Structure 1
Amino acid sequence: MLSAAEITAAADDLLDAERGRHQIGLLSLRHPQITLEDAYAIQSAQMARKLAQGRRILGWKIGLTSKVMQAALGIDTPDSGVLYNDMLFQSGATVPAGRFIQPRIEAEIAFVMKGPLSGSVTREAVLAATDYVTPALEILDTRILRHDPATGTARKIFDTVADNAANAGIVLGETRHAPDAVDLRWTGAILRKDGAVEATGLGAAVLDDPVTGLVWLARRMGQYAQRIEPGQVILSGSFIAPIECPPGTAIAADYGPFGQISIDFA
């Protein structure tokens, strides 16, 4: 476990890295004793600072929902992070040069809520609390090095969670669907990078059903006396591997009848 001073120092370093567009060393190497609770405490410390500065919570992201990504980090559970109002991009927008450090893209299904959720909830309760679902792209970025340059050690789940689950931006689609009007397990996308097909995937890659992620998130938030609020956007998890987006990249995701969405990087 980390001390309060160590948690504050780590949060300060990550906030400074975000402002300065640079990366810090692995927290898991700096603090070998770090726990998942410590990592979420570091994330929460940053959230408190950002809210005090006037940013607002847009919603929440669920990450590490695929077996492949969980195996890569040696875990068997998803993680979560905070979406802020200044992270939102419209479909078709261009991300300004220098906005992010090492941006990557993931294709997801977003849930926009009309009712609150917290604690042990059912799949049916999630659907009843959802206003609509829509295509979404998550922009990932990392304020922590992916690998330690001296040892080659890869970042761990503690690093990712402390770094707001690597979240940096969100692109929402314009089509809206009732959550029970489509089989979200069979909802997927063909994602093109610079005009060429880069990845394809289906919602079933997300915990077998994207709704399951919201069941998990509501339970996790309930443990900390938090809840998913009406109007919030929930990113349910990616069904493709992250795609690198260096300057000049054009991303377009075709979800078929579910909708289309795109984003460019200057």
Structure 2
Amino acid sequence: MNRLYTLALAFLIITACKHKSDTSSSETAPPAVVDETEIAVDSLLYFRHHYQQTDMLSRRFPGITLEKSMEIQLRMLEKELKAGARHIGWKMGGTVTDDSASYNPLFGYILDKNVIQQDSAVLAENFPSAQVEVEGEIGFVMKKDFQNGAKSLEELKAGIDYVVNAVEFAKAVAIPLNGNAETMTINHVMASGLGHAGIIIGAGRADIEEFDMENETVKCFIDGELAAEGTATNVYGTPLNALYSLVNMLPEQGIYLKKGDIIITGSLYKNPVIDSTCAVKLAFSSLGDISFSME
């Protein structure tokens, strides 16, 4: 009997000690830290890669600042590069405005996997809701690094290899909460990459000193009918002004324009939307044509 009593007592003591240890451990363990920015980055990348839209930013970051939106986008870029993508350049947003006081330059990154070949078929299924805006743009390819930005337009022009025509496909990943436009700001769009969904880099080339920057025009034809037209002056007076903003914005984020980068600067017209089978041609006044079809 004494032996059984001793064994029972020992069992109770061990159990009590274990319970005390478990309780003490749970009471002293620090609470898990939730990285809201990391959640946003992973979520946005998922939706971008699956050609879907999300109201996540409007829900989780209703009052997002420009600084936070830049942080989220650049962390997305960092993860894309770690996964094997190659960064080839930038797009500018907020550049099409009639009022220079309202100019709000924003940027988005461009990856090699975003490039679509000219005269190829673009698949509607590769865009959210199977529709996309077609933007006629003027781009620049750089021939030197700008680690510290540029002090003047002349310094910037000296670092441009050539001017190029381009088409951007734009479709926002970020959407308003419950369809209420007031729940979404331009900073939400910035965080998600400014709606960049693809790019065609045209075959047109021009020397920066010979290119008539302010008078270049483009017409967009869909199935042979004129759908939109515009001039380079619609891009903040000249696309060169948009490039100048970018070259000086990036160093503030610890990055910079590099040799070989391509930068597109904003649409020259009010963008038409395509959402079904069609043939599209953009006719630039001096840089030539860019054609593609949608299936």
TM-score, normalization by structure 1? 0.91
- Structure 2 match to 1:213: 242
Structure in which a larger fraction of residues adopt helix: 2
SS of residue paired to 1:112: strand
Alignment of 1:77-226 (within 5 A): 77-101=104-128, 102-117=131-146, 118-145=148-175, 147-153=176-182, 155-226=184-255
SS of residue paired to 1:223: helix
5+ residue gaps, structure 2: 1-32
Is 2:90 the counterpart of 1:60? yes
After alignment, is 220-229 or 113-122 more displaced?
A: 113-122
RMSD: 2.1
Alpha-carbon displacement from aligned partner over 1:206-263 (angstroms, at most 9, x marks no partner):
1101111111001101112211111110002211122212131322111133211122
Residues 6, 249 of structure 1: alpha-carbon distance in 2 compared, 3 angstrom cutoff: farther
Residues 176, 207 of structure 1: alpha-carbon distance in 2 compared, 3 angstrom cutoff: same
Residues 112, 152 of structure 1: alpha-carbon distance in 2 compared, 3 angstrom cutoff: closer
TM-score, normalization by structure 2? 0.82
Alpha-carbon displacement from aligned partner over 1:131-169 (angstroms, at most 9, x marks no partner):
111111111122122x43353536311111011111111
CA contact 1:27–1:158 (8 Å) conserved in 2: no
In the aligned structure 1, how far is the partner of 2:112 from the partner of 2:249? 22
Structure 1 residue 29 displacement after superposition: 4.2
After alignment, is 230-239 or 148-157 more displaced?
A: 148-157
CA contact 2:220–2:229 (8 Å) conserved in 1: yes
Paired letter, 2:114:
M
Residues 28, 148 of structure 1: alpha-carbon distance in 2 compared, 3 angstrom cutoff: closer
5+ residue gaps, structure 1: none
Paired letter, 2:217:
G
State the structure with more CA Rg. Answer: 2
Structure 1 residue 76 displacement after superposition: 3.4
Give every structure 1 segment of 4 or more consecutive aligned residues whose post-TM-superposition deviation is greater than 4 Å: 68-71
Percentage identity across paired residues of the two chains: 27
SS of residue paired to 1:14: helix
Paired letter, 2:144:
G
In the aligned structure 1, how far is the partner of 2:112 from the partner of 2:64? 30
